[in-house]
Amino acid sequence: MRKINTAELEEYSWTSPKGDFRGAGKDLSQALGWDPAAAGVRARHPFAVEILRVAPGQKPYPYHSHSAQWEFYHVVSGHGLARDDEGEHPIEPGDAFVFGPGEAHQLINNGGEDLVIFVVADNPLGESSYYPDSKKWIVRSPERRLLRSEPLDYYDGEE
């Protein structure tokens, strides 16, 4: 059995070049031995698990959809909004929701404390994503590339 304690995991963080997108997380799956680049069943878990933390006033990622990936969210603490094609929906502790392939989504912390969310994603091989606000695609097979008609930075057109 592989076992970790989330309180002992180091948190990683990210910030987009202009600061419009910020977040932090603890990658439970990688701590348990998941290799996201592996193709083998034993090295690549059937899902990825993260504890996502979003500071007040922040969005961790641009509005996007996945071609094949499912993502499950469970709000642990804090308040915020989940954006989808119907608008922005309030989220609070205890709320659980899922986004499937082709369902654009974004998280926003509009509260006064950190928004902490437990995230589970199936991370299929060959996954790609679409960013409706900037009309670009990210292609991850065989390598990660952002496309419109030429290579782009991840945050190009988002900030």
The predicted-structure confidence for 47-88, as pLDDT tens digits, reads as follows 899 999 999 999 999 999 999 999 999 999 999 999 999 999
Interval 23-54: pLDDT, tens: 999 999 999 998 877 766 677 788 899 999 99
Give the pLDDT confidence score for residue 146 in this predicted structure: 60
Give the pLDDT confidence score for residue 106 in this predicted structure: 98
Domains identified in the chain and CATH numbers: 8-124 (2.60.120.10)
* Contact predicate 156/148, CB 8 Å: no
> How much of the chain is helix, strand and coil, in % rounded to 5?
5, 40, 55
Q: If DSSP states are collapsed to H, E and C, what string results for 41-107?
A: CCCCCCCEEEEEEECCCCECCCCEEECCCCEEEEEEECCEEEEECCEEEEECCCCEEEECCCCCEEE
Give the pLDDT confidence score for residue 133 in this predicted structure: 94
- CA gap 92, 55 in Å, rounded: 14
Interval 94-142: pLDDT, tens: 999 999 999 999 999 999 999 999 999 998 877 889 999 998 888 766 5
